[in-house]
Amino acid sequence: MSWKDYIKEDMFPLFTCAGCTHGTVTNAFARVADELKLDKDKTVIVCAIGCAGRIPTFLDFPVLRVTHGRALAFATGIKLSHPEMKVVALMGDGDALAIGGNHFIHAARRNIDITAIVSRNEIYGMTGGQYAPTTPPGARATTAPYGMLEPAFDTCKMAAGAGATYVARTDAYHVQHLQRTLKTALQHKGFGVVEVLTSCPTQFGRRNKVADPAKMLERIKALTVTQAQAERMTPEELEGKFVIGEFVNTSRPELTEIYARAFAGMGV
Ligand SMILES: Cc1ncc(C[n+]2csc(CCOP(=O)(O)OP(=O)(O)O)c2C)c(N)n1
Ligand code: SF4
């Protein structure tokens, strides 16, 4: 088998705009699925409405595409009823952190064994460029024509604070780092979060003078620092940067195991 066996090539061409790096995440996922030899009968991907949510339908796994913001709610139901399944939620940042923010923090609190991958393109791509909770201050969006006035979420700090047992950030420029991070996350038991910095040249780029897909990738490169680099930087130097790497990798009781123990021998 090769990584291409995890892609539904008959569905090509992709619907995405040129330079959209949601596709880079899908590509990395397929390669890691091949490395880990993920069983297509024991893995399910849940995604929702949005460009990021549509991309997983090109992966050759059972894919459940649900209402915007509800990927983790459905993923939780699948995992509780089929604890033997590997459950992955592949989401956009608006999807995961705005309308789906509540599901996100409670999945982390419960430490349910789901891998949550959040593609952070800093905008609502599919619906025409409205700002997301991840849009950087000052950036323009259709709903922020004079620049974003609100601060952006730190997804990783939020996930860690809510109790996720694996938390990491990576990006679509450093693709080997992206693959290594996804590989570790997919082997983790418990609620794992991988934030992937991605680019939307069409809706973010055009409004923020980085419409060229290559420039958007250079922007990601310029904005990211490793944890080792971050340690040598002042808070002022770190302002607006994204530290990539692993922030949490720990274990504590997982929700479906807690349920199994609670109902053991009761015939439930
Ligand atoms: C319940 C509901 N609310 C709002 C929408 C409209 N809607 C569709 S996609 C989307 C945002 C998409 O942004 P994101 O999740 O960041 O994904 P992207 O398209 O940027 O990849 C919104 C608001 C919807 N389809 N359903
Ligand atoms: S609108 Fe943005 S997120 Fe959607 S496909 Fe185009 S580049 Fe990708």
pLDDT in tens, 142-187: 999 999 999 999 999 999 999 999 999 999 999 999 999 999 999 9
Distance 128 CA to ligand 2 centre (A): 9
Closest approach atom of ligand 2 to CA 19:
7
DSSP letter assigned to residue 6: G
Of 202, 208, 210, 217, best ligand 2 pocket probe by most atoms within 8 Å of the beta carbon: 202
Distance 96 CA to ligand 1 centre (A): 10
Biggest alpha carbon–alpha carbon distance for the chain: 62
pLDDT in tens, 195-236: 999 999 999 999 999 999 999 999 999 999 999 999 999 999
Using CA positions, which residue lies closest to atom 8 of ligand 2? 20
265: confidence class by pLDDT, cuts 50, 70, 90 = confident
In this structure, which long-range contacts are made by residues 249-254, counting pairs with CB atoms below 8 Å and at least 24 apart in sequence? Answer: 249/165, 249/166, 249/167, 249/184, 249/188, 250/165, 250/166, 251/165, 251/189, 251/190, 252/111, 252/163, 252/165, 252/190, 253/111, 254/111, 254/112, 254/113, 254/189, 254/190
Distance 124 CA to ligand 1 centre (A): 6
- State the pTM of this model: 0.98
Percentage of residues in the chain with pLDDT exceeding 90?
A: 96
268: confidence class by pLDDT, cuts 50, 70, 90 = low
pLDDT in tens, 238-252: 999 999 999 999 999
